[in-house]
Amino acid sequence: MTLSKEKQGEIALAVLKLKFKKDRRIPDVQEMKRNIGNFSKETGFSKEELKEFSVLLVKELSEEFISKMEKNDK
């Protein structure tokens, strides 16, 4: 079985989200910028692409957290 690029992306995103959840922290802005710069050098992805992806990831994680908190209030 060959995974499509889309499926590979879904798996990669799920793995990354799980890592953040297990670490129970999101890096601060300076750490995130440093990570983006290092990852950009290692992978060839542009800093702009990585920044956009990071923002989307943090938004998704935040929305999941808020949703769970609201469910626990009920």
3-state SS string for the chain: CCCCHHHHHHHHHHHHHHHHHHHCCCCCHHHHHHHHHHHHHHHCCCHHHHHHHHHHHHHHHHHHHHHHHHHHHC
In this predicted structure, what is the pLDDT of residue 22?
81
Could you state, in chain order, the average pLDDT of each consecutive group of 10 residues for the chain (74 residues)? 87 85 81 92 94 88 85 72
pTM over 0.75: no
Question: Using CA of residue 39, residue 43, residue 44, residue 49, what is the dihedral sign?
Answer: negative
In this predicted structure, what is the pLDDT of residue 49?
93
In this predicted structure, what is the pLDDT of residue 74?
61
